[in-house]
Amino acid sequence: MKYILVSGGVVSGIGKGVIASSTGLLLKTTGLKVTSIKIDPYMNIDAGTMRPQEHGEVYVLNDGGEVDLDLGNYERYLDVTLSRDHNITTGKIYKEVIEKERRGDYLGKTVQIVPHVTTGIQDWIERVAKLPVDDTNEEPDICIIELGGTVGDIESAPFVEAMRQFQFRVGHGNFALIHVSLVPDMHGEQKTKPTQATVRDLRGLGLMPDLVTCRVLVRKPLSIETKRKISMFCHVAEEQVIGIHDVSSVYHVPLLLQEQGIISFLQRKLELKSIYLSKELMDRGSRLMARWKEMTDVIGKNHYLDVVSIVLVGKYTDMPDSYMSVVKALEHSAARCQRKLNLQWVAAEHLEPTHKIENPVQYYDGWKNVVAAQGILIPGGFGQRGTEGMLLAIKRAREYKVPFLGICLGFQMAVIEWARNVSELDGKIMSVP
């Protein structure tokens, strides 16, 4: 089993999940079987009790596990079916360690972060990495591990130490580290100091990056001069510095990594060519790459395509990640139908009559988007806030025969709208105790 750890520095939310998924996809196109694990250092057992504005979408797996939205990325990119155990949290690890202590599994020893928690993390990773996740029903060849948060955070310290020990446990030839850092663009000049600092911190914790992946938050690629400077000060060769600038779609990121030779480097570092691959798996990988390039060609040329306007009326529109799976499904559908998606976000409460008095600009802007839309989508949510606005949007869709999709709460609202305005049943929305 080969392991690739993806860590992050400087700031969180710079695309570790997309880079981890893209790396896994590229490895899968060579015929390898790939699985993924996401580590979230928070104390929650899982993401199920978190507000969408707090942590983005709660992604629900086939086994009912409520997990981080990055596992949705893994399933979409890698075409795998993951379990709740593929999402590790501090809460899960501590719960397991405490239960072992209560059973007496530690034989009266003092239970400590090192070695008991760190060993528990490593045991969990090794156990879950071997679980079959695709239709071959075979043990994967490679496990991509994404370490959430930022290196240097207090809450992630036990996981960083566990990974330091893990590289020796599995052997250097079976372990690679991709560190994702931010390269700010200040008035056209790319700054390397944040990357130098985070790599220095990482090395101080006992982990040496094999690849430094630099996120440039503009459309300008990482310059040769910047790459040379990072190579010099971060103790890596120039080929080990990868630049990821902003692109029109995240689905172009795998091709960007491929152009910079990430797969050939990992094949040498992890001796991947020593893994036996059947002709069927290699052919499947080739077909996957062909389909991916075909999809990105359609997305890249979308300014030539007809536009389809969809309005999403929801409760958490101030945090678009709250509806990531819905947005990705719309993007995939648009690409499949060779259409350019124009997605408009409308907060449900902005459509309610009371909001016309409180903030008339938001009220009229919201209704302008709803009226102009070719399709109306209302996703899930919790609580009564905004439900009257949803009902009005649904009524608009029904009366004017606008294509409508209700998901979870959205479909429940459609039933209520029909009961009120078509069946003329008397009643109001009641809070469930």
Predicted pLDDT of residue 433: 41
Tens digits of residue pLDDT in 168-188: 999 999 999 999 999 999 888
Predicted pLDDT of residue 320: 80
Report how far residue 218's alpha carbon sits from residue 274's, in angstroms, rounded to the nearest whole number: 39
Q: Nearest CA to 32 among 1, 72, 73?
A: 1
Predicted pLDDT of residue 432: 42
For the chain, helix, strand, coil in percent to 5 are 50, 15, 30
Predicted pLDDT of residue 427: 62
User: Three-state DSSP class for 116?
Assistant: helix
* Alpha helices, DSSP H, located in 144-261: 157-170, 193-204, 224-233, 253-259
Residues 281-284: contacts with CB within 8 Å, 24+ apart?
A: 281/31, 281/32, 281/33, 281/136, 282/30, 282/31, 283/31, 284/31
Query: In what side-by-side order are the strands of the sheet with 375-378?
Result: 339-347, 306-314, 375-378, 404-406
Report how far residue 144's alpha carbon sits from residue 172's, in angstroms, rounded to the nearest whole number: 15
- The answer to whether 272 and 266 are in contact (CB under 8 A) is yes
Question: At 395, which helix (H) or strand (E)?
Answer: helix 387-399
Mean pLDDT in each 10-residue stretch from start to end of the chain (433 residues)?
94 89 96 96 89 82 92 92 96 96 93 96 97 94 94 92 97 96 91 94 95 93 94 94 91 94 95 92 93 84 79 91 91 86 95 93 95 95 90 96 94 94 73 44
Give the type of residue at 57.
Answer: E
Tokens standing for residue 372: 């102009």
- Give the number of other CB atoms < 10 A from CB of residue 395: 16
- The answer to whether 188 and 17 are in contact (CB under 8 A) is no
